[in-house]
Structure 1
């Protein structure tokens, strides 16, 4: 099977919801579903998090990041961390765990390197999305963080399957964009039961059109993607990187309100971005 046929085959299976996840991902999906239950309160969420040592450590670290620790008071317990973050932000922490677990089963060194770069790109987009939402577009920051974490989940799924199709990623990035990105991405997002508003925002990212100044969740995600200093290894050729940098430069020059520019706002929020980025990447 040539790589284009392989893309189409994986995309067709994804479209039908016939997706194969590692066992650890399935466990995290059950946790995500429990957190999505409207009746899941802080105490129940804390107990669920405490059952997973890695998730517990991540939750406490993110709760102590500058983006969420406005008081400067460090906390050490999972229960207090969950109280500070809230269930909705906790869903983003679990989503980050799911995305990283998709790459955890990769053994090929080349694919591992791609997965590591893709996660670094994802973390930059997620951290920037959270800050841009809160300070610029005024959309829900928790949703923006979640959208940033999930925007490349289709790519992670592809990498987790790539070893089954030798030569799948040997071609130009444009082939992934044309034959796999949207179809596989939509299938994985649907399987993970990602809310429609987030799926629509990620769809805006695939379409590549945003308003200036940015206004919507889709604009937030697009702008964060433009500004991310680490490119996706799946869909950015040197020419695409040049286009992205040019778009980012135009966005940085735009006015936000009457007396601020995007660049000045992001400069002021850099500590928040870097703090959140640190706990997401490591």
Structure 2
């Protein structure tokens, strides 16, 4: 099976809903499905998190990170306190982060595992920077920007998890003739993971959209975060970046000092998130 056939095969399976997920993903999916209801009782959320010790540990850890505890509040020592501090939306994002990480757990090829780790570093960097861009630049809800950053490469993670079965699947492709299949795969993975439609639409728009001036949408937030982060995706294609003239346009709404400050804060936040998620 050549590369084109492999993409077509995986895309066809995805359309039929036959997605191959690690079994450990199911627990996080159950939490996501419950939290998708904003009226989910907190006791239900607590029970779901406590039922998964790994998620419980990560929830408490991230609630005590500088990202969510900058005012020096008391250390949180239980799941209830952690959920109250970070909120349902960030708990939803945390569950999604676990899903994304678990895709790499079934990769056996060392080169692919290394690529998955680099993609994770990029993912967390974009999520942390996107949160700040939402706060200071685009006015997009910063928790939504964080979540969108965490899941914006979920299609790439899924393909990496299947690449052991299809040698050469992720080799460089200058003519980009597999892009349509990749878009289908990403769309179906996001559907399976219950990614909200506005977030899914922004992620799908990353491939061929341009940033508006001034930037004011979730898509603009993701485009900016991908462009400005120094931690690049190992799967990134040239057309997914901003056009060459964009740097001068960015100067109109982010001055050099502010950008440096945001990049430094995002670097700290990404390190905090990575540490908490490694618990």
> TM-score, normalized by length of structure 1?
0.88
**Alpha-carbon distance, 1:119 to partner:** 0.6
**Alpha-carbon distance, 1:176 to partner:** 7.3
Matched pairs, number: 274
**Alpha-carbon distance, 1:58 to partner:** 2.1
Compared CA separation, residues 158 and 64, structure 1 to 2 (3 A): same
**Alpha-carbon distance, 1:270 to partner:** 4.5
**Alpha-carbon distance, 1:244 to partner:** 5.4
Of the structure 1 ranges 196-205 and 40-49, higher mean CA displacement relative to structure 2 is found in 40-49
RMSD: 2.3
Q: Is the 8 A contact 2:46 2:79 kept in 1?
A: yes
**Alpha-carbon distance, 1:140 to partner:** 1.1
Compared CA separation, residues 173 and 247, structure 1 to 2 (3 A): farther
Compared CA separation, residues 67 and 271, structure 1 to 2 (3 A): farther
Of the structure 1 ranges 2-11 and 166-175, higher mean CA displacement relative to structure 2 is found in 166-175
Cα distance in 2, alignment partners of residues 103 and 134 from structure 1: 31
Q: Secondary structure at the match of 1:206?
A: coil
1:278 aligns with 2:271: yes
Alignment of 1:111-130 (within 5 A): 111-130=112-131
Q: Secondary structure at the match of 1:163?
A: coil
Compared CA separation, residues 208 and 37, structure 1 to 2 (3 A): same
Q: Report the equivalent of 1:146.
A: 147
Q: More helix per residue: 1 or 2?
A: 1
Q: Which runs of 5+ in 2 are unaligned?
A: none
Q: Report the equivalent of 2:136.
A: 135
Q: Which runs of 5+ in 1 are unaligned?
A: 256-260
Q: Secondary structure at the match of 1:175?
A: coil
Q: Report the equivalent of 1:254.
A: 252
> TM-score, normalized by length of structure 2?
0.89
**Alpha-carbon distance, 1:214 to partner:** 1.1
Q: Report the equivalent of 2:214.
A: 213
Cα distance in 1, alignment partners of residues 177 and 43 from structure 2: 43
Q: Is the 8 A contact 2:226 2:241 kept in 1?
A: no
Q: Report the equivalent of 1:101.
A: 102
Cα distance in 2, alignment partners of residues 19 and 100 from structure 1: 16
**Alpha-carbon distance, 1:177 to partner:** 6.1
Cα distance in 1, alignment partners of residues 190 and 69 from structure 2: 30
